[in-house]
Chain A
Amino acid sequence: DTEVTQTPKHLVMGMTNKKSLKCEQHMGHRAMYWYKQKAKKPPELMFVYSYEKLSINESVPSRFSPECPNSSLLNLHLHALQPEDSALYLCASSQGITRGGANEKLFFGSGTQLSVL
């Protein structure tokens, strides 16, 4: 199994809603990532978890709250989002986060297309 599975594929929410994005991998990877991708732009790193602990937060607003319940799961909790937060949210995983060999390969999910009304 070399897949990163994200659910839901599409999500529409209002600015007062609370929703969660989910990501799952069963490759034994110990690093997991959230990226945000606006249309026709490259992905932007949001968060990195390593061994279930938050390793990197790229100054993301607190209305985005990540959670890593175990080594296979990564969630992104959304609350009080703004229309400009509409984007494709990509989850990724890798063996580890230190440089070298196989650790450098990121496996991406297909993303959740989020629309905030």
Chain B
Amino acid sequence: GNSVTQMEGPVTLSEEAFLTINCTYTATGYPSLFWYVQYPGEGLQLLLKATKADDKGSNKGFEATYRKETTSFHLEKGSVQVSDSAVYFCALLNSGGSNYKLTFGKGTLLTVNP
């Protein structure tokens, strides 16, 4: 079956620090990979995605590269801001079948202090 494992939080950083949140996956076939962000009191927003091996998704200074050889999709940002404080979810969508079901990781809480 499909599964997503992401690093346990919480992660606490100072402003302008470098961020890495690790994500690895298990899936059959060729999944698409996503990072979603959830700000306090809100729903999820798609942050970035990659649909095939070696694709790099990027948005708002965040990047993640689809690594098939290591089954990973680690999220990185060179300089975090206080406004980046949120919960980050790694997710995959498998290519099999026509039904749409995202498999989410457990989420990583990021707190950025000024």
A108 & B44 in contact (Cβ 8 Å cutoff): yes
Chain B: interface residue count, which band?
20 to 34
Measured between beta carbons, the chain A residues less than 8 angstroms from B105 are: 42
Counting chain A residues whose Cβ lies within 8 A of the other chain, the interface size class is 20 to 34
Q: Is the CB of B32 within 8 A of A104?
A: yes
Q: Contact between B93 and A99 (Cβ–Cβ < 8 Å)?
A: yes
B73 close to A (CB within 8 Å): no
Contact stretch, chosen from B17-25, B61-69, B74-82, B96-104: B96-104
Assess whether A94 is in contact with B104, with CB atoms less than 8 Å apart. no
Q: A56-B99, A97-B98 are known; give 6 further A-B pairs, CB within 8 A.
A: A4-B43, A40-B107, A41-B106, A45-B102, A104-B32, A104-B93
The 4 closest A-B pairs by CB, nearest first: A108-B43, A42-B104, A97-B100, A108-B44
Q: Can you offer 25 A-B residue contacts whose CB atoms are under 8 A? A: A4-B43, A40-B107, A41-B107, A42-B91, A42-B104, A42-B106, A43-B44, A43-B104, A56-B99, A56-B101, A94-B100, A97-B100, A99-B32, A99-B93, A99-B98, A99-B100, A103-B100, A104-B32, A104-B34, A104-B93, A105-B49, A106-B46, A106-B102, A108-B45, A110-B41
